[in-house]
Amino acid sequence: MKFIIQRNRLIDSVQDVTKAVSSRTTIPILTGIKIIATEEGLTFTGSDSDISIESFIPKEENGDEIVEVQETGGIVLNAKFFSEIVRKLPMDTVEFEVSNHQQTLIRSGTAEFNLNGLDPDEYPYLPQIPEENVFSLSADLLKSLIRQTVFAVSASETRPILTGVNWIVEKNILTCTATDSHRLAMRTAPVEGAEENSFQAVIPGKSLVELSKILDGSNELVDIVITDNQVLFKFKNLLFFSRLLEGNYPDTSKLIPTDYKTQLVLPSKDFLHAIDRASLLTRGDRNNVVKLTTIEGNKIEISSTTPEVGTVVEQINTESIEGEELKISFSAKYMMDALKALEGTDTVISFTGAMRPFIMQSVHDDKILQLILPVRTF
């Protein structure tokens, strides 16, 4: 294998595929990045066997030569060293040459690295995914979808299925749901190309977080293929594979109350800052509980008490309070997470009593729903 490549393109591809590489793998070859040079260009692959990322650099792009492949072939190079080396090479072009016994020469200017590589034939194969039943949505929408739901997955492996986000596609509508059984985040969005098919998959939260880091905020389409045990995201010259979680995702539709006894409309930012302040004295405490009480004059009071430290209390003007008086306690962290996901200047919160889950939505957008279970404080 022998090729010359533009350094900035090399950096981008190596950075992308390195996101899938774990230093704590039990399969030694997976600490490396696989590089394959063909007549068409270069393919880089990184994997921790849960997530695999493939980045392709074509020979030419818009008439510019990016890679000059002088000899096809392949090699696996240690991801940690390789990614540091490419970032620090002195010149704008880089030469690669693999000789016998996987000795790999990397030359840029007068700097020469000679790395011990591994045999690319020993690198595991990526899952083969038939490119049927593809649906699409834009990269920026996909990033929003992930951001607005993935924080609510369970951090505990007690019920592994809850560490993933449940994706359901039906009649060109994608519904993403995440819950850790104390709160729930749900977001719907239109997709393209799934008129006749429906899909369901539970995608690990960790995979979605990594995917989100690689996606840019453009409105270019991402193609998505869901199979029995894998999901593939195709974006520009990138392929992102993730295994799916096995098992049945709980039916969450029954959790969401459809009526309410008290409904508040609140300025989102003021409310978020007040919750943040009210939780200051309980930081570090797992149960950083704050109390919300409706008071006279369309106001609410946010308060919190930590006996050894002190108390905090603050009033906020609401846009409106409908229904019964209310006194309810909840996790400040869950509330702040939900408010940050909701977007929009005003938030509607619908309560069905101090002991029942309540739901939050943006005033002008019902595509996002956040649900929180209150905390008993007596």
Query: In the complex with a second copy, which residue's Cβ is closer, 106 or 226?
Result: 106
Query: In the complex with a second copy, which residue's Cβ is closer, 34 or 183?
Result: 34
Length of the chain: 378
Nearest to 278 by CA among 244, 301, 295: 301
Query: In the complex with a second copy, which residue's Cβ is closer, 159 or 283?
Result: 283
In angstroms, what is the minimal distance from the CB of 127 to a second copy? 31
In angstroms, what is the minimal distance from the CB of 89 to a second copy? 8
Go through 214-232 and write b for each residue having 16 or more CB atoms within 10 A of its CB, e for each that does not: bbeeeeebbbbbbbeebbb
Query: In the complex with a second copy, which residue's Cβ is closer, 269 or 356?
Result: 269
Alpha-carbon distances of 4 from 14, 17, 20, 68, 106, rounded to whole Å: 15, 20, 25, 5, 10
Quote the CA–CA distance of 126 and 343 in Å, as a whole number.
38
In angstroms, what is the minimal distance from the CB of 81 to a second copy? 6
204 close to 245: Cβ distance less than 8 angstroms: yes
Quote the CA–CA distance of 370 and 257 in Å, as a whole number.
12
Quote the CA–CA distance of 282 and 288 in Å, as a whole number.
5
Give the number of other Cβ atoms within 10 Å of residue 26's Cβ: 7
3-state helix, strand, coil in the chain (%, to 5): 25, 45, 30
Quote the CA–CA distance of 143 and 132 in Å, as a whole number.
23
Quote the Cα angle for 87-88-93, to 5°. Answer: 80
Categorise residue 293: left if φ over 0, alpha if ψ from -120 to 50, beta otherwise.
Answer: beta
91 CA to centre of own chain = 34
Query: In the complex with a second copy, which residue's Cβ is closer, 2 or 261?
Result: 2
In angstroms, what is the minimal distance from the CB of 298 to a second copy? 14
Query: In the complex with a second copy, which residue's Cβ is closer, 21 or 178?
Result: 21
In angstroms, what is the minimal distance from the CB of 112 to a second copy? 5
In angstroms, what is the minimal distance from the CB of 314 to a second copy? 4
In angstroms, what is the minimal distance from the CB of 349 to a second copy? 19
Query: In the complex with a second copy, which residue's Cβ is closer, 71 or 270?
Result: 270
Q: What is the DSSP letter of 319?
A: S
Quote the CA–CA distance of 177 and 175 in Å, as a whole number.
7
Contact residues for a second copy, defined by CB under 8 A: 78, 81, 84-85, 88-90, 104, 109-116, 273-274, 276-277, 280-281, 283, 308-316
Query: In the complex with a second copy, which residue's Cβ is closer, 340 or 367?
Result: 340
Query: In the complex with a second copy, which residue's Cβ is closer, 103 or 345?
Result: 103
In angstroms, what is the minimal distance from the CB of 288 to a second copy? 13
In angstroms, what is the minimal distance from the CB of 47 to a second copy? 21
